[in-house]
């Protein structure tokens, strides 16, 4: 988590905007099923951004060429 700055920033922005929308536009906790689904999808999307890896990052510690092991 937090190892990819781009997805971490977007995930954080999505979560903050979801909560601000809920607090100021919707005025409190969701009151129906549609409201809960929208709120939960926003939070899950933001969490996915926090835990996602950037497309140009690698888990490899070296830049060794790949080879096939027989």
- CA distance linking residue 47 with residue 10, whole number of Å: 10
Name the pLDDT band for 23 (thresholds 50, 70, 90). Answer: very high
Give the sign of the dihedral formed by CA 23, CA 26, CA 30, CA 34. Answer: negative
Q: Any idea where the domains of the chain sit in the sequence?
A: 5-51
Is-contact 33 42, C-beta < 8 A? Answer: no
Name the pLDDT band for 70 (thresholds 50, 70, 90). Answer: confident
At 29-67, the pLDDT tens digits run 999 999 999 999 999 999 998 888 776 666 656 666 777
pTM for this one?
0.71
């Amino acid at each position: 988590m937090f190892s990819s700055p781009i997805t971490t920033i977007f995930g954080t922005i999505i979560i903050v905007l979801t909560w601000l929308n809920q607090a100021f536009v919707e005025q409190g906790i969701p009151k129906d099923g549609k409201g809960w689904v929208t709120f939960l999808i926003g939070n899950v999307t933001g969490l996915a951004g926090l835990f996602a890896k950037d497309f140009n990052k690698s888990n490899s510690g070296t830049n060794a060429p790949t080879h096939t092991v027989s």
